[in-house]
């Protein structure tokens, strides 16, 4: 119990979220909001202090039986993910306050929102595969109510799909856990892996098959094809939830687990050059192409970004499956940089829906002038996702392409072509939004839509097209007005501040990425434990 502080940022949000859920003040929205924000900020400060001062510390909370134990450790990998979550979560919570102001039962929303924070930190600080697996399962349980929050028919259907996919993926991962215990003798995370090659002789193909099973199991949350279907459906949830799903907690937990599995459990040395490597690398490439192509075809704003996430998450998986130090650097680079790009993009989309009720790309004509801050931030996120320098996305995508060339295998060379195709498709589906916002085809004298696409903006209720009640709040048809009949404009400061911070971070990370990438290089080289 020497390092009990390691478990505090895990337990504090879980206990705090439960307290919000059953608090006698749960119906007092303003009280709940500021208690939630205070709890989140306190937890973030605690996480940042721990990752800065307690590198290498570990603790065993309790033993399940035998060698199976619930263990927390702060290592080089964990501090990256935990630090990222600690920076993004307070701003995401602030955004949610304004976004959810017209919703009922917000105490339930914020209770599970805070609990998800604790579970995510638990995944980041997991000291072994058992702990990671347990918190991976808990992630499903605490995010399921968030996906279902609006209780529309579409939300219930989406939450069930999410639950079935996640539980199925966890079952796949469980098989791998058993085999790691059998042929590795340990579930600890060790750079280079724990698989005993002598013990595994004659069973290598079985172990490789179990790795592929676990890759797709954890890959469910990373939306790997063909187990991606839950992610576009989950766009029915309020935007603060979809941003968590796409940028911070759920999909990143899946990608993080795969990096752990590849480099810290099985080991790149054991996997490199095997048929298993080509299977998982091929799956990542197929997912990139599929997600990019579907995003171009999708006309619903949030679902377009959902397909973009499917594509971009597999950038991380592609880097990880290179099975090299440079591949690990590439995967970690995109894991961090993509979080800022995608949360910024989703929050911009949410601001548009919140202020105007418009949900489809063809309804966004001219909004760049009515919501200048929102669309300026969206433009920055879009350019970064495309991979245009000097934004952060260029750095991570360059690292992925470099790791593919360095790999030297024919399939890795093909990955460069996949990256180029995806960049082209990303430019099409992201810049389409930007061009419509700033260069509308036809506008009436008062600047409103000329009638194009009014069917989608004429008061359709949230849920019929994959949109939550919160997204549809304040809709007044195609009149160009937002809440309460006021003129369309940027959202309030609670929503606008996170947008500005995230957009600024995208620029800053692009210009000053070298120290962070150098840290990833030291980590991949075993210089940081």
CA nearest 220: which of 263, 185, 174?
174
Instruction: Quote the distance between the C-alpha of residue 276 and its chain's center.
Output: 25
356, 367 in Cβ contact below 8 A? Answer: yes
| CA distances (Å), origin 220, targets 164, 167, 315, 360 | 10, 9, 15, 27
Q: Output DSSP code: residue 228.
A: -
pLDDT score for 423: 92
30-39, 86-95, 156-165, 297-306: lowest mean pLDDT where? 30-39
d(CA 159, CA 366): 34
Q: What is the CA radius of gyration of the chain?
A: 22
510, two tokens: 């692009």
Whether residue 354 has pLDDT greater than 60: yes
d(CA 33, CA 504): 26
pLDDT score for 447: 40
CA nearest 390: which of 497, 493, 509?
509
| Residue with the larger pLDDT of the pair 510 and 470 | 510
d(CA 16, CA 38): 11
Q: Average pLDDT in the 320-334 region?
A: 91
Per-residue pLDDT band for 343 (boundaries 50, 70, 90) equals very high
Q: Which run of H or E residues covers position 5?
A: none
323, two tokens: 């099975």
Whether residue 467 has pLDDT greater than 60: no
CB atoms within 10 A of CB 53: 10
| Residue with the larger pLDDT of the pair 484 and 227 | 227
Quote the pTM value. Answer: 0.87
Peptide bond into 390 cis (omega under 30): yes
Highest mean pLDDT among 173-187, 296-310, 454-468: 296-310
pLDDT tens profile 128-161? 898 999 999 999 898 888 888 877 888 888 888 8
In this structure, the strands spanning 68-73 and 58-65 are: antiparallel
Q: Where are the alpha helices (DSSP H) in 220-249?
A: 230-233, 239-243
Quick check: helix, strand or coil at residue 434? Answer: helix
pLDDT score for 83: 94
Concatenated DSSP letters of 122-181: HHHTB-BHHHHHHHHHHHHHHHHHHHTTT--HHHHHHHHHHHHHHHHHHHHHHHHHHHHH
Q: Which run of H or E residues covers position 73?
A: strand 68-73
Whether residue 502 has pLDDT greater than 90: yes
pLDDT tens profile 67-76? 778 889 999 9
pLDDT score for 357: 85
pLDDT score for 90: 92
222, 314 in Cβ contact below 8 A? Answer: yes
pLDDT tens profile 75-109? 999 999 999 999 999 999 899 888 887 766 778 88
Tell which phi-psi region holds residue 366, choosing left (phi > 0), alpha (psi between -120 and 50) or beta: left
Whether residue 61 has pLDDT greater than 50: yes
CB atoms within 10 A of CB 93: 23
CA nearest 119: which of 221, 31, 230, 35?
221
Please state, rounded to an integer, the average pLDDT across all residues of the chain: 84
189-198, 212-221, 448-457: lowest mean pLDDT where? 448-457
Concatenated DSSP letters of 268-319: HHHHTTSHHHHHHHHHHHHHHHHHHHHHHH--BHHHHHHHHHHHHHHHHHHH
Strand partners, 300: 360
13, 118 in Cβ contact below 8 A? Answer: yes
Which residue is listed with tokens 């097209």?
465
First to last CA, the chain: 22
Q: Which positions ≥6 away from 414 have C-beta within 8 Å? A: 285
Q: Average pLDDT in the 108-129 region?
A: 91
Q: Output DSSP code: residue 265.
A: I
Strand partners, 481: 487
């Amino acid at each position: 119990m020497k390092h009990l502080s390691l478990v505090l940022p895990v337990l504090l949000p879980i206990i705090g979220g439960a307290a919000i859920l059953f608090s006698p003040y749960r119906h007092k929205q303003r009280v709940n909001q500021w208690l939630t924000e205070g709890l989140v900020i306190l937890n973030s400060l605690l996480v940042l202090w721990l990752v800065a001062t307690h590198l290498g510390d570990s603790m065993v909370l309790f033993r399940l039986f035998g060698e199976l134990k619930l263990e927390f450790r702060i290592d080089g990998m964990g501090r990256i993910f935990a630090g990222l979550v600690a920076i993004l979560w307070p701003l995401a919570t602030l955004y949610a306050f304004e976004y959810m102001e017209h919703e009922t039962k917000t105490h339930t929303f914020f209770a599970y929102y805070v609990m998800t924070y604790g579970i995510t930190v638990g995944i980041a600080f997991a000291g072994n595969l058992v702990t990671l697996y347990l918190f991976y399962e808990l992630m499903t349980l605490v995010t399921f109510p968030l996906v279902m929050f609006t209780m529309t028919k579409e939300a219930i259907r989406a939450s069930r799909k999410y639950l079935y996919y996640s539980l199925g993926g966890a079952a796949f991962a469980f098989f791998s856990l058993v085999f790691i215990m059998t042929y590795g003798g340990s579930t600890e995370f060790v750079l280079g892996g724990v698989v005993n090659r002598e013990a595994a002789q004659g069973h290598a193909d079985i172990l490789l098959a179990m790795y592929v099973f676990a890759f797709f199991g954890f890959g469910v949350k990373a939306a790997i094809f063909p187990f991606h279907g839950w992610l576009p459906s989950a766009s029915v949830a309020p935007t603060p939830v979809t941003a968590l799903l796409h940028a911070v907690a759920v999909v990143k937990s899946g990608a993080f687990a795969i990096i752990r599995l590849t480099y810290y459990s099985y080991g790149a040395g054991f996997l490199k050059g095997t048929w298993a490597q080509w299977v998982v690398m091929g799956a990542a490439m197929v997912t990139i192409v599929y997600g990019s192509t579907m995003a171009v075809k999708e006309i619903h704003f949030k679902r377009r970004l959902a397909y973009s996430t499917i594509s971009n998450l597999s950038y991380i998986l592609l880097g990880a499956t290179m099975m090299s130090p440079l591949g690990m650097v590439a995967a970690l680079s995109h894991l961090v940089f993509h979080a800022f790009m995608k949360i910024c993009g989703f929050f911009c989309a949410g601001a548009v829906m919140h202020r105007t009720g418009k949900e489809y790309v063809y309804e966004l004509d001219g909004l760049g002038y009515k919501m200048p801050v929102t669309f300026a931030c969206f433009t920055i996120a879009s350019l970064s996702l495309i991979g245009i320098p000097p934004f952060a996305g260029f750095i991570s995508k360059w690292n992925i392409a470099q790791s593919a060339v360095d790999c030297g295998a024919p399939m890795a060379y093909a990955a460069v072509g996949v990256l180029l195709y995806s960049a082209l498709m990303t430019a099409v589906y992201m810049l389409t939004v930007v061009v419509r916002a700033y260069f509308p085809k036809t506008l009436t004298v008062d600047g409103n839509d000329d009638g194009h696409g009014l069917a989608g903006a004429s008061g359709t209720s949230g849920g019929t097209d994959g949109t939550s009640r919160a997204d549809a709040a304040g809709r007044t048809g195609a009149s160009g007005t937002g809440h309460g009949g006021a003129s369309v404009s940027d959202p309030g400061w609670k929503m606008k501040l996170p947008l500005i911070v995230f957009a600024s971070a995208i620029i800053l990370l692009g210009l000053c990425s070298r120290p962070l990438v150098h840290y990833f290089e030291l980590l991949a080289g075993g210089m940081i434990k």
